Amino acid sequence: MTVRKNQAGLTAEEKRAFTNAVIELKRTGVYDRFVTTHNGFIMGDTDSGERVGHRSPSFLPWHRRFLIEFEGELQKVDPKVALPYWDWTADRTPRASIWSPDFLGGTGRARDGQVMDGPFAYAGGKFPVNVRVDGRAYLRRSLGSGVAELPTKAEVDAVLNMPVYDTAPWNSSSNGFRNHLEGWRGANLHNRVHVWVGGQMATGASPNDPVFWMHHAYVDKLWAEWQARHPQSPYLPAAGTANVVDLNDTMRPWNDVTPADMLDHRKFYTFDTEPAAAAASQR
Amino acid sequence: MNTITRRQALGTTAGALTALGIAGATAHAAATDSRATQPVGTVDEVYQGRRIQITPAGGGHHNGHHGGGHGGGHSAGLPTVLIDGRELHVMRNADGTWISVVNHYETFTDPRTLARAAVRELQGAVLAPFAPMGGPA
């Protein structure tokens, strides 16, 4: 069974296995298919039209399925690899070990934002940015410049306390847990992390930065923590909603998976610290 | 690919654009009288060495149908934003704010502010055509 661990606690060997598998998927072209898919949904999902991957209730189950598929590809390369998660409330500065040369590499240089160290630096020749919104083929970041601070634990807790999964009109103006976690409303959690990293992570082609997967693995964990706090709160909407993926509707691009299929992550993987027991005692 | 024909098509309709209330992007046209040749919301400026051209949507309302799914074709209800002649994919949020594909997770109050942020983000790089690899695999 796959166990997703906090990236901060990975061994050197686990870090190397993860980055090597990512680079192998880049080499074979599998990686870039995921970037293309994500950017297609980013550009297609709209508040007033059909919306599946973003700004809608299915933001969370869509990304859960997307990450499961990516993790499956990593495991075809190396069966020992699982997606790590980045708890950005704890590891919240550019000096955190996640940005070390032995893992994801650091921030970009001032002149052009180019990441200059780590396995994904353009000069290493193994991680060209091919699916892109502009002409630049090198991985870029500007940690902490687009927005000064990552979300805090207190801000996360306030969102986890929201009892309703999502509300009409089921888009970026909604109240409820999903939209506050996604970040279009309120303190802004998920969106703000994309902006804090900068570079490709701030664009529609954000999976070009491998930290995308670790950011979303943590967003996914927060969904699991929310479920543990609110065991009686269902995914919404239940049925009959135009342009929106209801509980038992299938999701593009797979067309054979529904939000209902994605509600229990333990069918697919567990976390190093499962949320249920600890959260229940707080209620 | 179809980006070219879309751009050409937009060019042919540029003279027929109607004035739409695009919050905050009206300063340029507001300085002229009602016979202004540029409709409200039009921007044509050089910012940090890049030419920004914004033409309002050519009919319909701002929350009109947007592209429809894969690859994000241009929709009738959105303004066209060009940077050095290349189209920037933009989207309007339900609360009236704006995002672009190069600043996708950060909202802006109007298309001009959004375009200027894109210029800063690009640091001189040219925009790629929409959905460069053709949409979802």
pLDDT exceeds 60 at position B23: no
Q: What is the pLDDT of residue B76?
A: 56
Question: CA A19, CA A77: separation in Å to the nearest integer?
Answer: 11
- Residues 250-269 of chain A whose Cβ lies under 8 A from any Cβ of chain B: 252-253
What is the ipTM for the molecules in this complex? 0.92
A110: Cβ contacts below 8 Å, ≥ 6 apart? none
Question: CA A20, CA A23: separation in Å to the nearest integer?
Answer: 5
**Mean pLDDT of the region A123-145:** 97
Question: CA B108, CA B29: separation in Å to the nearest integer?
Answer: 20
CB atoms within 10 A of CB A9: 10
Q: Is A203 within 8 Å of chain B by CB?
A: yes
Among A32, A8, A20, A29, smallest CA distance to A80 is for A20
| pTM as predicted | 0.86
A51: Cβ contacts below 8 Å, ≥ 6 apart? A45, A58, A170, A171, A243, A244
Share of chain A above pLDDT 90, in %: 96
Structure tokens at B18: 């109607």
Gyration radius (Cα) of chain A, Å: 18
Question: CA A262, CA A64: separation in Å to the nearest integer?
Answer: 7
Structure tokens at A148: 């000064």
Nearest CA in chain B to A192: B105
**Mean pLDDT of the region A115-123:** 98
pLDDT exceeds 80 at position A32: yes
Contact state of B72 with A252 under an 8 Å Cβ cutoff: no
Dihedral sign for Cα atoms in the order B104, B108, B110, B113: negative
Question: CA A168, CA A60: separation in Å to the nearest integer?
Answer: 16
